């Protein structure tokens, strides 16, 4: 924990650096805490530091965000980045430093920056409406970071003040429920002061809809279905969001800020870039597996086992159009040529999402400025359908939410069959989430919430030729919760390890 606190001081923002008072001179090339927090521009710069915590390699840069997909039945990472394969295979232990260490450091970095801003913003002279909005943005981001930690570690130290190593370096863990209550409190307070939208120049900031959508995620995680429905109806009443007609296009930089985006992590070249294009196009190490490919329905809405349209000799034809818009396969048009085994040498597949390379874009493999779409309207509709179905079965609103996603112009899949039972609709919604959100890291959290991970992550995964890639294993007595990084426990003995680590 002390290591994290010290890191917060050093990494708070590029424009704020702690220093000693040397000979009573005032520095001219950097700021100290004593002379910062004077005006609204300084506050906005500090808020930029809070958002930039998201773009660090430990959260939404490099391979990290895609490792959640690799720790699900949907994909595999051949480089074992952040030890994702070890987590997927259930061979991680108390001394593993991988995704657990990245999430711990990355989220506490963001929490520290948000707390620094929230503890000092009242010192600045600034417009009061702007002050309220900035506080709302910082509380949204703090809730975002704490929610991630809470789901993964099930209770972490709760820090709400300006970072202080002496006070915070030996804190014990707060309970899961205490963190959850703080997250919900932050989101409720954020929603009261955040706008519905921003001018184009400020687009990408947290909005009222984003706060409510994240709140719905928190509530759905614990099966609070009635509150999920009530929260999402507030989003629907905003009349702010809609499905983007072009399914693949909604992820492209040129369509940044389209009507489906509820919250995304923004990049801008050359100042702030990521390696998404290199990961997907050059190395193809973030590779979909055959099980995900087989899950895509045929264009008649039937599975490959049921549909007369399925031809094993042409397995990629007549599939749900989201397949070809999400996944590159051998023989597919890609980068102004045809994808070969040399391109897709891992599983025979790579993802199209989050890369600028499409059928006709040859491009140069380089760093990217593609945004990471974290929350989008289709996800909101799917959460709404799931909660409604669990409450009262497959109502017209449940059908309407799912069928609106399936009928998007570039998807145009047939509507769900009428007369489904609650159990049948549950399975339809779960499949729809897997397909609609493939490659976006959602399925990792979904199968934990549904408890289906105990089956799905105890099965092998295969490549396009049916060759075994890995035997996965999930221990239900241990693996729902991640091990706290042992380096943090060494620094702070008050951090009790999670059970069975």
Q: Within a 10 A sphere around the Cβ of 175, how many other Cβ atoms?
A: 13
Question: If pLDDT is split at 50, 70 and 90, which confidence band does 284 have?
Answer: confident
Residue 21, pLDDT score: 34
Which DSSP letter does residue 414 get? P
Question: If pLDDT is split at 50, 70 and 90, which confidence band does 1 have?
Answer: very low
pLDDT above 80 (res 15): no
Domains by residue range for the chain, with CATH = 2-19+31-194+481-491 (1.25.40.390)
pLDDT above 60 (res 241): yes
Task: Give the mean model confidence (pLDDT) for residues 358-387.
Answer: 90
Question: If pLDDT is split at 50, 70 and 90, which confidence band does 11 have?
Answer: very low
pTM for this prediction: 0.94
Q: What is the pLDDT of residues 320-369, one digit of tens each?
A: 999 999 999 999 999 889 999 999 988 999 999 999 888 888 766 778 99
Task: Give the mean model confidence (pLDDT) for residues 211-238.
Answer: 98
pLDDT above 70 (res 2): no
pLDDT above 90 (res 67): yes
Residue 20, pLDDT score: 31
Residue 23, pLDDT score: 34
The region that residue 155 occupies, defined by phi over 0 for left and psi between -120 and 50 for alpha, beta otherwise, is: left
pLDDT above 90 (res 77): yes
Q: Within a 10 A sphere around the Cβ of 213, how many other Cβ atoms?
A: 25
Question: If pLDDT is split at 50, 70 and 90, which confidence band does 30 have?
Answer: low
Q: What is the pLDDT of residues 459-483, one digit of tens each?
A: 999 999 999 999 999 999 999 999 9
What percentage of residues in the chain have a pLDDT greater than 90? 87
Q: Give the start-end residues of each E strand in 426-490.
A: 460-462, 468-471
Q: CA-CA distance, 150 to 181, in Å (whole number)? A: 11
Can you list the pairs that 178-183 forms with residues at least 24 positions away whose Cβ atoms lie under 8 Å? Answer: 179/146, 179/149, 179/150, 179/155, 180/150, 180/218, 180/222, 182/143, 182/146, 182/158, 183/143, 183/146, 183/147, 183/150, 183/218
For the chain, the average pLDDT equals 93
Are the C-beta atoms of 118 and 145 separated by less than 8 Å? no
Q: Collapsing DSSP states into helix, strand and coil, what is residue 405? A: helix
Q: What is the pLDDT of residues 439-453, one digit of tens each?
A: 999 999 999 999 999
């Amino acid at each position: 924990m002390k290591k994290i606190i010290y890191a917060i001081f050093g990494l708070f923002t590029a424009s704020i650096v702690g220093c000693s008072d040397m000979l009573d001179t005032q520095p001219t090339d950097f700021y100290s805490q004593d002379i910062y927090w004077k005006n609204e521009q300084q506050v906005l710069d500090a808020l930029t530091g809070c958002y930039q915590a998201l773009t660090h390699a430990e959260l939404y840069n490099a391979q990290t965000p895609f490792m959640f997909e690799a720790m699900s039945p949907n994909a595999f990472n051949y480089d074992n980045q952040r030890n994702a394969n070890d987590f997927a295979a259930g061979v991680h232990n108390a001394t593993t430093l991988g995704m657990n260490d990245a999430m711990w450091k990355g989220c506490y970095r963001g929490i520290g920056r948000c707390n620094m801003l929230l503890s000092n913003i009242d010192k600045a002279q600034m417009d009061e409406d702007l002050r309220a909005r900035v506080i709302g943005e910082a509380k949204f981001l703090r809730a975002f970071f704490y929610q991630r930690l809470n789901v993964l570690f099930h209770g972490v130290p709760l820090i709400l003040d300006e970072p202080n190593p002496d006070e915070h370096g030996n804190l014990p863990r707060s309970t899961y429920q205490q963190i959850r209550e703080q997250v919900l409190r932050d989101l409720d307070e954020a929603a009261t002061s955040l706008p519905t939208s921003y001018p184009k120049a400020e687009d990408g900031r947290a909005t009222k809809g984003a706060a409510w959508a994240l709140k719905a995620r928190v509530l759905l995680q614990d099966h609070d279905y009635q509150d999920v429905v009530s929260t999402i109806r507030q989003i629907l009443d905003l009349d702010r969001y809609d499905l983007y007609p072009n399914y693949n296009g909604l992820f492209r930089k040129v369509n940044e800020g389209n009507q489906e985006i509820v919250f995304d992590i923004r990049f801008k070249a050359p100042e702030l870039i990521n390696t998404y294009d290199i990961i997907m196009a050059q190395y193809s190490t973030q590779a979909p597996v055959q099980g995900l490919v087989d899950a895509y329905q045929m264009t008649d809405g039937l599975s490959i086992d049921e549909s007369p349209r399925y031809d094993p000799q042409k397995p990629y034809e007549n599939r749900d159009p989201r397949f070809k818009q999400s996944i590159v396969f051998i023989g597919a048009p890609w980068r102004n040529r045809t994808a070969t085994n040399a391109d897709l040498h891992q599983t025979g597949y790579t993802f199209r999402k989050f890369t600028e390379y499409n059928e006709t874009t040859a491009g140069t493999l380089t760093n990217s400025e593609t945004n990471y779409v974290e929350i989008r309207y289709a996800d909101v509709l799917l959460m709404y359908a799931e909660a409604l179905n669990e409450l009262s079965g497959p109502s017209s609103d449940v059908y309407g939410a799912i069928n609106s996603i399936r009928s998007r112009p570039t998807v145009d899949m047939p509507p769900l069959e009428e007369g489904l039972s609650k159990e049948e609709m549950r399975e339809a919604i779960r499949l729809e989430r897997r397909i609609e959100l493939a490659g976006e890291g959602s399925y990792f959290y979904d199968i934990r919430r549904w408890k289906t991970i105990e089956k799905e992550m105890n099965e092998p995964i295969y490549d396009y030729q049916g060759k075994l890639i890995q035997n996965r294993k999930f221990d239900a007595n241990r693996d729902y919760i991640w091990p706290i990084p042992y380096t943090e426990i060494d620094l702070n003995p008050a951090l009790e390890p999670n059970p069975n680590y």
